[in-house]
Structure 1
Amino acid sequence: MHQRTKIAVAVTLAMSAMSAFAQTAEPVSAAPAADSMQKVEVTGSRIKRAAAEGSLPITVVTRAQLEDSGQTTLAEFIRTSTFSTTGQFRPQSGSSAQAWSGANLRGLGSSRTLVLVDGRRVAKAPNVGDAADMNSIPMAAVERIEILTDGASAIYGSEAIGGVINIILRKDFDGVYAMVGKTNPEITGGDREEASVLFGLTGEKGRFIAGASRTSRDIIYVRNYPWGAAKGASSYGNAFYAAADDGAGGTFPNISAAGFRGNAGACTDAERGFYVAANGRCVYDFNLVAADEAATATKSVFARAEYNISPDFTAYLNASNTNNTSFGRFAPVPDSILVNAGSPGNISRTPDQDVYLAHRFAAAGNRDTSTDGNLTDMTVGIKGTVAGFDVDVGARRTVSKIVETGRGFVVKGLATTAINSGAYNIANPFANSEQVLRSITTTTGRDSKFAQSEIYATATHDLFAMAGGTSALYVGAEHRKEVYADIYDSLSEAGEVLGSSGNSASGDRKVDAVSAEWTLPFTKTIEGNLAARYEKYSDYGSDFSPRASVRWAPTRTITLRASVNRGFAAPSLPLITSKPSFSADAVIDERHCLADGGYTAAECVTEPFQINGLRIANPNLTSEKSKQFSFGGAWDVSNALTIKADYWNTEITDVLSFIDAQTLVNRDNGEDSRPVPAGLSVRRAANGTILQVVSGTTNEGILKYSGIDAAATFTHRYATLGRFRHDLQISRMLKAETNGVDFNGDFGQPKQRITLNNSWAVSAMGLSGIDFSYNINVIGKNGKEDEELRVGSYVTHDVQLTYAPSFLKGFKASIGAVNVGGRLPTLVTDDTKPFNYDLFDAYGRQVYFRLEQKF
């Protein structure tokens, strides 16, 4: 049994008290009968039906819940979901995906989480190539979010292993709406602004809605964090060390000890980051200038139109354009430069020997990276009824482009030459002329594109009557073409730019798919569902994904459900199309060492050698495969209280895994019993010397995950107080292991996440138009008891007060605070960031206001 946190106990007791109190509360009105409900398409199925509990676990997030959260972007909201077990990547300075935010359900990865807009897949972000960018979808355009926490490849195809996030856009809106908002975090920096306008009208011949929105967040510098005042000690300051040294500086002290202490550009210039550490080493304070969080801004315009051509046919058009920009700053470039014996630049204490200079090129400026991305999405189609078939035929074109520009980067070859010749003044770097600095620096560039063209046709038809209703069949066909390119500048691609590298990739693929779904209402209480999808890829092969599910409602208040399915995730275009890149890998290999000579047998088992490495896009890649099942149900305890619970189990085989050079060498030697994967290799000479190690990604390994999701909704109202609603969501991970190794509960892998959302529509003391919300968010402890990488449970509280006065029709004002207690993350990390960046943030208390007006 796991030890429950105090907050979990408190939440349980609170919900128990609410259930007991329900008898005295005035219940809300019962939902309308299923037969009177409008049929809609629910995520996980292509067959429209009444919006009641189905055979799959689906969580619906309403527009009101989005607004009550205090979040300004979809990415930020999804990150707070209990289904985002391990958090998700968010915009960060200096990253190759600086402005990107992924969605990561169950901790299975963003490449195994499918993101849809109105049931159609979102194009992948070109700077990652294998997942959608949640920042590309404006929150102002969203009506609701449906989260399917089960495998869905049988309906949607690749990547729907971890689950599906289906974002439903607004369609029915009349009038004009405008909103502005601002958020001020407790920390300096990170301020958020938001604004949107919406226009809509509905008539006999159709409906139209259009809008625009803008959101932004300021950059956050490390120095502004509570811990940012501490100096960041980087050994890359301005110090010589021997060629045989490990860089600790024992043989050759820093140059200030060689007589340069008094020079402004050496180690006494604290304002520029250089200082002498306690060990006498010249070091650099990277916290002085670096930013952890990038500045981001998003501008979107969107429109949807429907026109009733006839009583049987409707034409529709969806169009949107989103522009994402970002700015990030990293500390100046560090590197070790070989300074030759006798060269003018060798001003070390032993100028007659080769030495290394551990140097920070602060005089050349900070590394500044800007990105400018643009996503255009357009869909046209026609839907209607033909001979009893409900049909939908359409075409879609999505193009995502990102241009990245970097400044302040140093070309190693040019810098090495300038230092050795004495043209670059080591003793006083800031005395170097602009001409000298420009001669060793470069502007980096990266152009990325992901274009997706799609045509689709679907048909649904009622087949025959059964005891429980009418059996219906859905069939669909799709053709999709994906074109991908991620091109780095030639110097970065060649590895000549310090602090910047990249491996260009480009290619395209065609995907053809057919799918079918069949509902079988055996009785009034039992309904079965069969679904299957076949996809053929032009570059690696094909996949078939079947699913069977059943829903049983033994009483009017209890619904039980179960499903079993198979899924897949196709290898991404970056994995298949990346250009080969050379790498100088360090490996320990006794055979190579002994053949090289000069070492004893004992030394050869510990001495690393640099070998010729080549990293490739493995031509033998195929898709990951999954086996999944789930079961659970919902119980309407009363009109006021509903409880849901589901168990899920996922096993992924043929996992796409990167195999490094050392692992390949170990396998080649038999130290690792697993074979060298097809497409990868270790080439040796006759005497055992390694000529080349070809590393890359292969299909290998098994992942096993399982867990339980539980939820409860309690609504009650009182004539003298108002209406109350409480939504409790708990996600508990039971198993997480790779190749039989358990990592459930490890650092960054919390077993449990909880949210409790409370709202109160006030009607006390004659007041009206006042709404109050209070949310509790819990991230469970993670990290083993006996390990340093361990953090305790993390609890934050959000509040919001909204006022819509009756004397100002259509006006609403909101004020609130996210993380009202100002909780900061525990400073424990296994990365360059000081805390787990995917799970937590360091904004502290975030006070916001929002003004809305509808005409």
Structure 2
Amino acid sequence: MLNLPVIAYAQDSDISDQVKEDSVNSDEVIVVTGTSIRGVPPTGSDLISISREDAKLVGAASTAELLATVPQLNSFNTAPRVSNGGLGSFAPGLRGLPAAATLPLMNGHRLISGSTQQTNPDYPLIPELALERVEIIADGASAIYGSEAVAGVINFITRERVSGLEANIRHGFADDYDALNAGAIFGQDWDSGSVIVAYQYQQNNNITGADRDYRSLDFRSVGGIDTRSTVCADANVNLFAGTIYAAPGLAPGINTCDPRGPVDLMPQNRTHSALVSLRQEFTSGITAWADVLYSDRKDTVQAALPGQTFVLITAANPFFRAPPGTGSVFGYFDFRPDRLVGADHFDQTFRVRAGNASAGIDIDLPSDFQASVYGSYNWSRNDTFQPGINTTALTAAAAGTTVATALDPFGFRTDPAVVGAILDNPTDFTNRQRTRIGAVKLDGPLTELPGGEIKIAVGAEYRRETYMQRGQSGGVGFPENLERNVKSVYGELFVPIFGAGNATPGAYSLALSLSGRYDHYSDFGSTTNPKIGLTWQPVDGVSLRGSYGHSFRAPGLRDLGSTVGSYYSAAALVDAFAPATRRAVLHRSIRSSYTAATSR
């Protein structure tokens, strides 16, 4: 169990001070998470900021470990798992909502998913030394960022300027467990730009249920009951005569075992991650930038073997043995297929390779306006392999009548060809996802009020998503080719009603923001999401915030693909089994249901 200390994170008053300081001391004015306007903090919402120094304080060696220290996240103070069961990366949600309702970003840009089941963005595996800070908005933010920002946004911001070489290495260990983290970052800084290159390697071995005493299923020693399984490597035979017989001797009794003992509590993991970041100012008003993050993570998971129950074997099977004194010519066998597999578990493998690349140009315009043109190309590949038992082949072997065709439920005498047929039932999938984004944004001050500058931001974005799946499960292929286009426009207005120039008792500061975003999806429709935010400081150091807005989560490509697949399956069943006189009516019903589902 990983226990991390809880630390206090900076709120948006500190970020506001940081924005002002950067405005004074630098030509660069930062854009803070939760707003599209340079030089202002989010209005009406808390901004939680976790700095690089905070990460050092808690000793977090990965983004997952760092996020485990944030109380607003569902993963608070829990041991993070990198692969989330192999279905995607570590993905906690905000405010108790599912992970799909929280939008992760890197430097304000959308990321790719590496999951087999979902297409909502994954959390980035950024090298520890390359992370500058993490900013969290625990409030709906679809008016700024679009889909998935229902519960909030988590923005990972990387370092821009590093001079020289930094490196670190960590090694941790516990009973039957060790972990290694090693990383380095190199940077070169010059007057008009900078470049950094960072790399991190992480690995840990697995922890099984048998490695931890607290996970025992036999509670008799403390006055409880024995909850272990009766489906074990040594079979139990039931003649339905009131007595159970335990192999190998087939004496009356029951074999028991711990089915979770060989199963992983934490899987074996290996992760590579690398980041390259470049900034270059060509003239006093034109700056180009690019960020590329690549990660390759692999989990090997010890999974439980599927127990086989009520397998009928008769005296026709050459390996059948009747319990002594019964003279039975049949038996129902419960057993775990350890002797077929050659181990007490299956080794499942999950490998996810993901890349997120963004580049753009920022152009300073008259009157302190700035235009930004940028694009992203994100890609991922998920290779999943899960062994399985072919129950049809196993049933056929149980009914076998020769040594070459029969199942031996007691030992290792099953013919290798029969074993191969029984084990030939893997789930083996390759999933590829691509996201291409082009965007433009314009922001700057409109006019001056006594309380400060009215500022505005407007922008447009085009996104194309594709999803491809190849592979099979249980000998059945499930190919999918899905795609969509998303067109978006948005705007934001910041109005400082009271500020340094007109502060009065009870109104030290009062700021209003109005924002809205329109998104059109090629596959299911359009949505408009407004938001109003208000931050009031009656006196210095006391802030009251409120907001009202709409947020949404668009169905992922995988969601729509699964829906389409289910209706296609229903149509196939209609063709196979329905009487001809009813097929037309049923097909019309299915088409109507499909249309309703995809238009929601």
Whole-angstrom CA distance in 2 between matches of 1:32 and 1:537: 35
Q: CA deviation at 1:481?
A: 1.0
Whole-angstrom CA distance in 2 between matches of 1:382 and 1:435: 62
Aligned mate of 1:441, from 423, 426, 430: 423
Amino acid at match of 1:188: D
Q: CA deviation at 1:146?
A: 0.4
Amino acid at match of 1:399: W
Whole-angstrom CA distance in 2 between matches of 1:95 and 1:85: 16
Report the counterpart of residue 555 of structure 2 in structure 1. 571
| SS of residue paired to 1:59 | strand
Whole-angstrom CA distance in 2 between matches of 1:326 and 1:532: 41
Whether 1:526 aligns to 2:510 is yes
Report the counterpart of residue 154 of structure 2 in structure 1. 165
Whole-angstrom CA distance in 1 between matches of 2:441 and 2:82: 41
Would the alpha carbon gap of residues 64 and 470 (structure 1) be closer, same or farther in structure 2, given more than 3 Å must change? Answer: same
Q: CA deviation at 1:127?
A: 2.1
Q: Could you tell which deviates more after superposition, 548-557 or 333-342?
A: 333-342
Report the counterpart of residue 396 of structure 1 in structure 2. 376
Whole-angstrom CA distance in 1 between matches of 2:19 and 2:377: 39
Amino acid at match of 1:450: Q
Whole-angstrom CA distance in 2 between matches of 1:294 and 1:465: 58
- Counterparts in 2 of 1:627-642, with a 5 A limit? none
**C-alpha contact (below 8 Å) 1:575/1:618 kept by paired residues:** no
Whether 1:200 aligns to 2:183 is no
Report the counterpart of residue 244 of structure 2 in structure 1. 253
Would the alpha carbon gap of residues 561 and 427 (structure 1) be closer, same or farther in structure 2, given more than 3 Å must change? Answer: closer
Whether 1:325 aligns to 2:314 is no
Q: CA deviation at 1:465?
A: 1.8
Whole-angstrom CA distance in 2 between matches of 1:94 and 1:439: 31
Report the counterpart of residue 14 of structure 2 in structure 1. none
**C-alpha contact (below 8 Å) 1:505/1:574 kept by paired residues:** no
Could you list the per-position Cα deviations for residues 738-761 of structure 1 after superposition, in whole angstroms to 9, with x for gaps in the alignment?
xxxxxxxxxxxxxxxxxxxxxxxx
Whole-angstrom CA distance in 2 between matches of 1:351 and 1:488: 48
Gaps of 5+ in 2: 1-5, 9-16, 219-226, 500-508, 572-577
Higher strand share: 1
Report the counterpart of residue 543 of structure 1 in structure 2. 527
Whether 1:188 aligns to 2:176 is yes
Report the counterpart of residue 299 of structure 1 in structure 2. 272
Amino acid at match of 2:348: T
**C-alpha contact (below 8 Å) 1:341/1:355 kept by paired residues:** yes
Could you list the per-position Cα deviations for residues 795-832 of structure 1 after superposition, in whole angstroms to 9, with x for gaps in the alignment?
xxxxxxxxxxxxxxxxxxxxxxxxxxxxxxxxxxxxxx
- Counterparts in 2 of 1:473-484, with a 5 A limit? 473-484=456-467
Whole-angstrom CA distance in 2 between matches of 1:348 and 1:132: 57
| SS of residue paired to 2:297 | strand
Aligned mate of 2:93, from 94, 100, 104: 104
Report the counterpart of residue 49 of structure 1 in structure 2. 39
Q: CA deviation at 1:336?
A: 3.0
Aligned mate of 1:553, from 532, 537, 541: 537
Could you list the per-position Cα deviations for residues 589-628 of structure 1 after superposition, in whole angstroms to 9, with x for gaps in the alignment?
xxxxxxxxxxxxxxxxxxxxxxxxx677999xxxxxxxxx
- Counterparts in 2 of 1:290-439, with a 5 A limit? 290-336=263-309, 338-339=311-312, 343-344=316-317, 356-363=332-339, 364-365=341-342, 366-388=345-367, 389-407=369-387, 409-422=388-401, 423-439=405-421
Report the counterpart of residue 594 of structure 1 in structure 2. none
Whole-angstrom CA distance in 1 between matches of 2:327 and 2:285: 88
**C-alpha contact (below 8 Å) 2:231/2:334 kept by paired residues:** yes
**C-alpha contact (below 8 Å) 1:284/1:360 kept by paired residues:** no
Aligned mate of 1:235, from 227, 230, 237: 230
Whole-angstrom CA distance in 1 between matches of 2:475 and 2:19: 62
Amino acid at match of 2:249: R
Report the counterpart of residue 456 of structure 1 in structure 2. 439
Would the alpha carbon gap of residues 362 and 354 (structure 1) be closer, same or farther in structure 2, given more than 3 Å must change? Answer: same
Amino acid at match of 1:315: A
Whole-angstrom CA distance in 1 between matches of 2:320 and 2:480: 41
Q: Percent identity?
A: 22
- Aligned pair count reads 536
Report the counterpart of residue 144 of structure 1 in structure 2. 133
Whole-angstrom CA distance in 1 between matches of 2:154 and 2:370: 25
Q: CA deviation at 1:239?
A: 2.9
Aligned mate of 1:471, from 454, 466, 469: 454
Report the counterpart of residue 40 of structure 1 in structure 2. 30
Whole-angstrom CA distance in 1 between matches of 2:470 and 2:329: 41
Whole-angstrom CA distance in 2 between matches of 1:399 and 1:212: 19
**C-alpha contact (below 8 Å) 2:514/2:532 kept by paired residues:** yes
Q: CA deviation at 1:76?
A: 2.2
Whether 1:214 aligns to 2:198 is no
Whole-angstrom CA distance in 1 between matches of 2:113 and 2:271: 17
Q: CA deviation at 1:468?
A: 1.4
Whether 1:507 aligns to 2:490 is no
Report the counterpart of residue 489 of structure 1 in structure 2. 472
Amino acid at match of 1:429: G
**C-alpha contact (below 8 Å) 1:315/1:382 kept by paired residues:** yes
Whether 1:71 aligns to 2:55 is no
Would the alpha carbon gap of residues 488 and 334 (structure 1) be closer, same or farther in structure 2, given more than 3 Å must change? Answer: farther
**C-alpha contact (below 8 Å) 2:438/2:463 kept by paired residues:** yes
Amino acid at match of 2:336: R
- Counterparts in 2 of 1:794-805, with a 5 A limit? none
Amino acid at match of 1:235: T
Q: CA deviation at 1:214?
A: 0.8
| SS of residue paired to 1:158 | coil
Whole-angstrom CA distance in 2 between matches of 1:618 and 1:463: 57
Could you list the per-position Cα deviations for residues 440-481 of structure 1 after superposition, in whole angstroms to 9, with x for gaps in the alignment?
212541112221111111111321222212211111111111
Amino acid at match of 2:483: D
Would the alpha carbon gap of residues 57 and 685 (structure 1) be closer, same or farther in structure 2, given more than 3 Å must change? Answer: farther
| SS of residue paired to 1:562 | strand
Q: CA deviation at 1:433?
A: 4.6
Root mean square deviation, CA, Å: 3.6
**C-alpha contact (below 8 Å) 2:68/2:80 kept by paired residues:** no
Report the counterpart of residue 224 of structure 2 in structure 1. none
Whole-angstrom CA distance in 2 between matches of 1:165 and 1:459: 23
TM-score of the aligned structures, taking structure 1 as reference length: 0.57
Would the alpha carbon gap of residues 427 and 553 (structure 1) be closer, same or farther in structure 2, given more than 3 Å must change? Answer: closer
| SS of residue paired to 2:474 | helix
**C-alpha contact (below 8 Å) 1:160/1:568 kept by paired residues:** yes
Whole-angstrom CA distance in 1 between matches of 2:249 and 2:331: 20
Could you list the per-position Cα deviations for residues 49-79 of structure 1 after superposition, in whole angstroms to 9, with x for gaps in the alignment?
156x853201100101111112221112212
| SS of residue paired to 2:269 | strand
TM-score of the aligned structures, taking structure 2 as reference length: 0.80
Q: CA deviation at 1:295?
A: 0.9
**C-alpha contact (below 8 Å) 1:94/1:330 kept by paired residues:** no
**C-alpha contact (below 8 Å) 1:323/1:372 kept by paired residues:** yes
Q: Could you tell which deviates more after superposition, 299-308 or 552-561?
A: 552-561
Gaps of 5+ in 1: 1-10, 16-29, 243-248, 263-275, 495-502, 582-613, 620-682, 700-855
Whole-angstrom CA distance in 1 between matches of 2:299 and 2:463: 30
Report the counterpart of residue 125 of structure 1 in structure 2. 114
Higher helix share: 2
Whether 1:282 aligns to 2:255 is yes
Amino acid at match of 1:440: I
| SS of residue paired to 1:461 | strand
Q: CA deviation at 1:538?
A: 1.0
Q: CA deviation at 1:385?
A: 1.5
Whole-angstrom CA distance in 2 between matches of 1:304 and 1:618: 49
**C-alpha contact (below 8 Å) 1:116/1:122 kept by paired residues:** yes
Amino acid at match of 1:280: G
Could you list the per-position Cα deviations for residues 125-170 of structure 1 after superposition, in whole angstroms to 9, with x for gaps in the alignment?
2323144333633333210000101110000011111111011011
Amino acid at match of 1:200: G
